[in-house]
């Protein structure tokens, strides 16, 4: 497989004034994509998978996700809000989803289409594909863009295992636009479809779609910012129209376990938290005999409820999602199928391997560099303190050989050298 290294833009940005150059994000980044340079965190674009861990861990709130402003609604003649089901878990004592959906209309949207609706079509198609038996096992879900990007940079042999199906929010966005065109007679470009997102990686996916030529989503609004507008509006609602048609299963996708609960078939496994996913994927690469049919992997612990753009504590939100999904199930709503073909729901573009690890295109030179890395590493203190601005001593050795850092940046070795100079002088 040939590596594809076209530049990628990311949604994670840095507020330089707030960044103190500490090692919090440096040490947390699961793909070693951060360095501290000139006292500020720097993201290596080729390695970033948009998981948002750095946003969550930064004590100074210097890391942010670049989402779209609410004012972008003015660009379109008709605007549809597509809320992730995680939004429902942000409110205290929410009795009915319809409060939130009516609230979205009150703050300026013309229509609402639940992302949870998209899950139903995805589940149906997944079951069909699993029954056909043509997919390589274990099949890995495609709902979490950070997981797909992780595979594309770290686990090239697992690319062929990814479910080649659009994410629920993309299915919902496609269906929402289609319905709106029929309803309003406007052309598709005049319709704004805005995802209300708990997730930084989803924002990147609109610019750099995964598996699709172009994203059906017009813009991504951060859940935090929409929450601030929604909260006052909810108190002023005079009438609650019944809007929601989503199912218990659809809403449950907001938490880990939701997707495989909906599948309820075969040997399925749920894994959450990016580090747990990495160790599982390592094992899948190595062990032929694991015998797993389907893996639901969500980068955030607990699932999308813990996304970096949420307001509420992820565990509290998860508990609420369970309650809200149950209440929705009790409504016994008729299931209204999404009007999309299997072809529309299936990826048209392959996921490409982005090998950002190789040291040199010339194999012999790469071997020499590898030897140099080992030699430099042996001389480093191997305590992975991060003071040099690289996350580990091994990573500093690699950075030195790649020309990204100087050996002198190891403060411990520098101190040793000073001490021996001092001794010589005495």
Partner 1 sequence: MPNVKLHYDIDGNDFTVAGQASSNLKKVLKQLGVSTEVIRKAAISMYEGEINTVIHGKGGAADVEISTDKLIITFTDHGPGIKDISQAMQEGFSTATDEARELGFGAGMGLPNMKKYSDALNISSVLGEGTTVEIIIHLT
Q: Which is nearer to partner 1, 156 or 329 (CB)?
A: 156
The strand order across the sheet containing 294-298 reads: 139-140, 294-298, 268-272
CB of 365 to partner 1, least distance (A): 9
Stretch of residues binding partner 1 (CB under 8 A), selected from 77-85, 98-106, 138-146, 278-286: 278-286
Q: Which residues pair with 42 in a beta bridge?
A: 35
Contact 296, 141 (CB under 8 A): yes
CB of 89 to partner 1, least distance (A): 35
Q: Which of 231, 357, 383, 411 is in the footprint of partner 1 by CB under 8 A?
A: 357
What is the rounded distance in angstroms from the CA atom of residue 335 to the CA atom of residue 179?
17
Contact 198, 282 (CB under 8 A): no
Helix axis angle for 145-154 and 274-286, nearest 10°, is 50
- According to the binding rule CB under 8 A, does residue 286 interact with partner 1? yes
- According to the binding rule CB under 8 A, does residue 289 interact with partner 1? yes
CB of 395 to partner 1, least distance (A): 11
- According to the binding rule CB under 8 A, does residue 276 interact with partner 1? no
- According to the binding rule CB under 8 A, does residue 283 interact with partner 1? yes
Contact 410, 388 (CB under 8 A): yes
Task: Tell me the two tokens of residue 246.
Answer: 């989503």
In the 3-class helix/strand/coil scheme, how is 51-69 assigned residue by residue? Answer: CCHHHHHCCCCCEEECCCC
- According to the binding rule CB under 8 A, does residue 360 interact with partner 1? yes
From first CA to last CA, the distance across the chain in angstroms is 60
CB of 260 to partner 1, least distance (A): 21
CB of 354 to partner 1, least distance (A): 11
Site string for partner 1, 219-258 (x = CB under 8 A): ----------------------------------------
- According to the binding rule CB under 8 A, does residue 371 interact with partner 1? yes
Stretch of residues binding partner 1 (CB under 8 A), selected from 42-50, 287-295, 317-325, 416-424: 287-295
Contact 172, 117 (CB under 8 A): yes
Q: Residue 105, SS3?
A: helix
Q: Which is nearer to partner 1, 190 or 360 (CB)?
A: 360
Task: Tell me the two tokens of residue 79.
Answer: 């605007």
Q: Which residues bind partner 1 (CB under 8 A)?
A: 1, 156-157, 282-283, 285-289, 353, 355, 357-361, 363-364, 366-371, 374, 398
């Amino acid at each position: 497989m040939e590596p594809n290294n076209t530049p990628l833009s990311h949604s994670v940005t840095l507020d330089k004034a707030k960044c103190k150059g500490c090692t919090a994000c440096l040490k947390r980044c699961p793909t070693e994509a951060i360095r501290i340079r000139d006292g500020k965190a720097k993201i290596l674009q080729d390695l970033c998978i948009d998981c948002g861990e750095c946003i969550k861990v930064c004590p100074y709130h210097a890391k942010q996700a670049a989402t779209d402003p609410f004012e972008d609604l003015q660009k379109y003649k008709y605007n549809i809000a597509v809320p992730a089901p995680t939004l429902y878990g942000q409110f205290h004592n929410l009795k009915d989803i319809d409060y939130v959906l009516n609230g979205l209309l009150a703050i300026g949207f013309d229509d609402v289409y639940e992302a949870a609706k998209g899950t139903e079509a995805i589940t149906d198609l997944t079951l069909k594909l699993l029954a056909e038996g043509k997919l390589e096992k274990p099949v890995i879900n495609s709902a979490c863009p950070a997981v797909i990007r992780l595979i594309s940079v770290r686990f090239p042999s697992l690319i062929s295992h990814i479910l080649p199906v659009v994410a629920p929010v993309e299915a919902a966005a496609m269906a929402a636009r289609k319905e709106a065109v029929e309803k309003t007679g406007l052309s598709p470009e005049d319709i704004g479809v805005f995802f209300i997102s708990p997730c930084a990686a989803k924002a990147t996916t609109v610019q750099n779609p995964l598996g699709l030529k172009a994203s059906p989503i017009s813009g991504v609004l951060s859940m935090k910012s929409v929450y601030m507008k929604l909260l006052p509006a909810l108190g002023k609602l005079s009438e609650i129209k019944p809007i929601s048609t989503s199912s218990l299963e659809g809403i449950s996708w907001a938490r880990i376990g939701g997707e495989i609960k909906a599948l309820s078939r075969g040997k399925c496994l749920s894994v959450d938290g990016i580090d747990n996913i990495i160790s599982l994927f390592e094992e899948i690469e190595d062990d032929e005999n694991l015998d797993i049919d389907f893996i639901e992997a969500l980068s955030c612990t607990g699932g999308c409820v813990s996304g970096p753009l949420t307001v509420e504590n992820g565990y509290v939100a998860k508990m609420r999602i369970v309650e809200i999904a149950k209440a929705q199930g009790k409504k016994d709503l008729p299931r209204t199928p999404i009007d999309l073909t299997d072809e529309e729901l299936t990826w048209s573009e392959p996921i490409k391997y982005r090998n950002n690890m190789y040291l040199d295109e010339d194999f012999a030179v790469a071997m020499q560099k590898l030897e140099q890395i080992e030699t430099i590493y042996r001389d480093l203190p191997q305590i992975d303190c991060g003071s040099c601005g690289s996350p580990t001593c091994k990573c500093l050795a690699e950075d030195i050989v790649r020309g990204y850092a100087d050996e002198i940046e190891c403060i411990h070795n520098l101190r040793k050298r000073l001490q021996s100079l001092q001794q010589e002088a005495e």
